[in-house]
Structure 1
Amino acid sequence: MTNTQVTVLGLGAMGKALAATFLTGGVSATVWNRTAGRDAELVAAGAVGAGSVAEAIDNGEVIIAVLLDHASVHQTLDPVVSQLRGKRLINLTSTAPEESRELARWADEHGIEFLDGGIMAVPSMIGTPASSILYSGDKALFEAHRATLELLGTAEFLGDDPGLAALYDFSLLSGMYMMFAGFFHGAAMMSSAGVSAQEFAQRAVPWVTAMAQGFPGYAGAIDSRDYSAEVQHLEFQQAAVNAIVRASRDAGVATDLIAPIAELIDRQIRAGHGAAAFARTIEELR
């Protein structure tokens, strides 16, 4: 149990999960949401329901924003910025790295301590060992409330750059979305033969899990920019991916997802890198 007075702004699925976990951990929590009524279950569990943002901020030492986006953070907090002076603001809203940096500058201008975070979990994982939240910005703020933050999951401080946690968050999420999209594409292909998504998933999970073990090898090539390849060079990959494109069309599946990968490979080959490893396609991205 900690003595921190926490205010949670935003009671979507994630905000509710955070507030509920604080209450379970013995933390005094005030909650607010733009739409009235979403706090009923939390209030019944012991939270203080605030009727306004101003009231919610007055009740909290640490203000945690879990809102829709960057614009909503300003829409919610700009009108009460004078009340935030001397408070500690932790932004767990999904804001892009430059937006997190802008919020840090805004907070500094108004005498507000600021920490940004990226939640690497879905709401049901909050408060379990599977939950991880990345933080960056004000290290003193992080250390002062680390015990409270660790109620939510593993808390890791990445550095003083307030945009770094968001950069990690969005970079990891990009891999997640592309992984799921790849599964959707494969499931669409298999459906042309009457194979259910459930049946396909039974093969996809072990396959994708095994392939993920290749990340460190790719990382070494990317960091060293040594893209030499003894086997499966880009010209080999081109033939394979083009075959997937043809198979997709034959199955009546749109190529919106796979065609851009083929184009990355094609551009590298046109530039004279056909003998290089697949990892060299990163040079088309950065």
Structure 2
Amino acid sequence: MTESNGGSRANDVAVIGCGLMGSALARAFAKSGYSVAAWNRTPERAEALACDGITPVRSVDDAVRSTRLVVACMSTYETTVAALKPVTDWEGATLVNLASGAPYEVTVLERWAAEHGAEYLDGSIVCYPQDIGSSEAAVLYSGSPAAWTDHERTLMSLGGSSAYISDRVTDASVLNVGVVGAFYVSALSAYVEAATYVLGQGVTADVLHALTQVTIEGLRKASAEAAAAIVSGEHATDKATIDTYAEAAGAALAVMQDSGQRARMLAAAVENLSTAAASGSGSLGFFAQTTVAAADPAKAV
């Protein structure tokens, strides 16, 4: 394995962690013309990237000291800190962490980076490894404006839909939890549930797909309305009320369950609607569910 010159800035970027996603990041940087060092706890994974023009480095200290931009893609924030502990000199470097975690972990790692003399950006990857480097790929960044100014061009090479969203370092993590976790995963699970029922009743996949596109367009419009209503607190409506939705969704739930479906996602939606109605929001619009979304309203932001 080639060792980098620990005292030089021989590389444009060092990737720490060479799993499926980390390897995709390293390859995308190299494909964009950047000189890339790669380190992994098991050296073989870094060595496997040599054929892509990437320099495998045995020492994480040498990897970090060879560059001004360190992109970490480990499984957790804890493993990231453990991996980087041997690094002796962070002067002039920026750490970009792309692990998934909680917002409080982001602030802890930002503090750790500052204590070690590094600028810090936090990032959330909202695509699959095979998408990295494409125009559709997206990585959301938040944190140090100075670090983003220095490394924007390099980091944007990971995906054409990437963006720097805020100087509040936790914002990328918050969006990952909310949009990817709470929304995308739940919505896709609900669609699998719905499609299982519809296709099981003999509707063709083509017909389902056609109606799905119409529904997604409606959801696109409703999502903008939802955010505006939640911010303003205005939930009066001249459309369907929570009571109306609760009745219709409850009827659909009964039909699906009678057909042998568990319909867990729909059952959860019915529970949310019923809770909102019971709290006195039944005559308001759908988005008034926000008033009962928090288990402890005092902790809601």
Same topology, TM > 0.5: yes
- Report the RMSD for the aligned CA atoms in angstroms: 2.2
Q: Is the 8 A contact 1:81 1:110 kept in 2?
A: no
State the SS of the aligned residue for 1:129. coil
CA shift, 1:48, in A, is 0.6
State the SS of the aligned residue for 1:230. coil
CA shift, 1:202, in A, is 4.9
- C-alpha separation in 2, matches of 1:39 and 1:209: 43
- C-alpha separation in 1, matches of 2:62 and 2:210: 51
- C-alpha separation in 1, matches of 2:87 and 2:74: 16
Q: Is the 8 A contact 1:97 1:166 kept in 2?
A: yes
- C-alpha separation in 1, matches of 2:64 and 2:235: 53
Q: Is the 8 A contact 2:24 2:129 kept in 1?
A: yes
1:157 aligned to 154, 157, 164, which one?
164
Letter of the 1:234 counterpart: I
1:62 alignment partner in structure 2: 69
User: Identical aligned pairs, as a percentage?
Assistant: 27
State the SS of the aligned residue for 2:265. coil
2:286 aligned to 273, 278, 285, which one?
278
The answer for unaligned runs of 5 or more in structure 1 is: none
1:19 alignment partner in structure 2: 26
1:187 alignment partner in structure 2: 195
Letter of the 2:273 counterpart: I
- C-alpha separation in 1, matches of 2:286 and 2:217: 19
Q: Per-residue displacement from partner, 1:29-70 (whole Å, max 9, x unpaired)?
A: 011222342234421121111223233223332111011112
1:127 alignment partner in structure 2: 133
1:268 alignment partner in structure 2: 276
- C-alpha separation in 2, matches of 1:192 and 1:153: 38
* Residue correspondences, number: 283
Letter of the 2:12 counterpart: Q
Show the 5 A alignment for 1:192-271.
192-194=200-202, 200-271=208-279
Superposition misfits of 4+ residues, deviation over 4 angstroms: 194-199
- C-alpha separation in 2, matches of 1:210 and 1:37: 48
- C-alpha separation in 1, matches of 2:209 and 2:75: 32
- C-alpha separation in 1, matches of 2:54 and 2:229: 51
Q: Is the 8 A contact 2:242 2:285 kept in 1?
A: yes
- C-alpha separation in 1, matches of 2:290 and 2:91: 44
Q: TM-score, normalised by structure 2?
A: 0.86
CA shift, 1:274, in A, is 1.3
The answer for unaligned runs of 5 or more in structure 2 is: 1-9, 295-301
Assess, with a 3 A threshold, how the Cα gap between structure 1 residues 197 and 188 changes in structure 2: closer, same or farther.
same
- C-alpha separation in 1, matches of 2:202 and 2:62: 57
State the SS of the aligned residue for 1:114. strand
1:31 aligned to 2:38?
yes
- C-alpha separation in 2, matches of 1:82 and 1:93: 22
- C-alpha separation in 2, matches of 1:35 and 1:251: 50
1:83 aligned to 77, 82, 89, which one?
89
1:138 aligned to 2:144?
yes
Assess, with a 3 A threshold, how the Cα gap between structure 1 residues 12 and 198 changes in structure 2: closer, same or farther.
farther
Q: Per-residue displacement from partner, 1:191-242 (whole Å, max 9, x unpaired)?
A: 4325576764454244223332222222222222111122311111111110
2:6 alignment partner in structure 1: none
Letter of the 2:107 counterpart: R
Of 208-217 and 238-247, the range deviating more from structure 2: 208-217
Assess, with a 3 A threshold, how the Cα gap between structure 1 residues 35 and 251 changes in structure 2: closer, same or farther.
farther
